[in-house]
Amino acid sequence: MLKNVMLGLTVSLVVAATTSAEEINPVLGKVGDFVLREADLERIVGYQSSEALEKLQSDPAQRAQVVRQLLVTRAAAARSRKEGFDRKPEVKEQLGYVIDGFLAEQYLRKVVVADITVPDEEVKKYYAEHQEEFLLPTMVKVRQIFIEVPKDATPAAKEKARERAGDILKQLKEGADFAALAKSSSDDADSAPRGGELGLLTPGKTNSEEFEKAAFALKAGEVSPVVETPFGYHILKVDERTEERTAPYEEAQEYIRTLLKPRFEQQKAQAFLDKLAKEAGVQAMEPVPTEKEESPAPR
């Protein structure tokens, strides 16, 4: 895969070199007389796929790596030309194959399958035949007030923490605001500033069986008793609860289209290539089997 990417990037550099000097784009790097600008990078990576371009735009580290790779590739190519490597017959032959492959791949992607759509009936068929894929588990939106108990805590310290949790629970039963108490009393530095909010939880996604059992036993609006886990004591509140359900077709259809699109693109591309091969008179000769001498029978 990396080899294919490198080949694509190498050929793409030829296109990038034609960028007008008058374009107002930030300079990303230089090597010799070659200047790599923002528009060049977007075009080069865009030749690979729109997904690759989106990922590059959101990942500065990968972006910097690709910029360096392009410039180093450019430097290596310049050195090879200086030494006449590009004039070797076998190199010219391989370059021809690289260019042919690049042209064919781009034509297939940007012309042949550019307007492909997945028929509604295929989307509905997939939804009907794969209901298990769209089963959404029970979800609860949870808040917590956490009282930490270190692993090396003494029995007295553990009892003090339990009493502290019990006092907080008593305040909640008397009508105290859960979020306010979480902010002032919870030992969880991450969730306390958010009023103890942990977000949506699904079964099997917590690191404590006791915590999970208590959370999913609650209805929306309910507060748990004090829950003991290996980490300390917790008091939980469920703000929202959604029972297990199957996602309706309206929610699932775009996911299904995205899932099926590559298959339909492949089918259309293959049909085009088969037709083209017939029209162009492509003939791939079958290898002629060679007769093997029979081995003498063992004596």
> Residues 163, 239: one domain?
yes
Band of pLDDT at residue 46, cut at 50, 70 and 90: confident
CATH at residue 239: 3.10.50.40
- If you average pLDDT over residues 73-78, what whole number do you get? 93
Residue 144 · residue 185 · CB < 8 Å:
no
> Residues 239, 255: one domain?
no
User: What's residue 19's pLDDT?
Assistant: 45
CA dist., res. 18 & res. 52, Å (int): 22
- Residue 163 within any structural domain of the chain: yes
Q: Which helix (H) or strand (E) holds 55?
A: helix 50-58
> Residues 144, 61: one domain?
no
The model scores a pTM over 0.75: no
User: What's residue 71's pLDDT?
Assistant: 94
Listed range (12-16, 42-46, 66-70) with the worst mean pLDDT: 12-16
Q: Classify residue 262 by its DSSP letter.
A: H
> Residues 89, 143: one domain?
no
Band of pLDDT at residue 51, cut at 50, 70 and 90: confident
> Residues 107, 83: one domain?
yes
> Residues 231, 160: one domain?
yes
> Residues 15, 93: one domain?
yes
Query: How many domains would you assign to the chain?
Result: 3
pLDDT digits (tens, 9 = 90+) for 258-275: 999 999 999 999 999 999
Residue 180 · residue 195 · CB < 8 Å:
yes
Q: In terms of residue numbers, what domain contains 29?
A: 2-112
pLDDT digits (tens, 9 = 90+) for 82-128: 999 999 999 999 999 999 999 999 899 989 999 999 999 999 999 99
The residues near 35 (Cβ < 8 Å, ≥ 6 apart) are 21, 27, 29
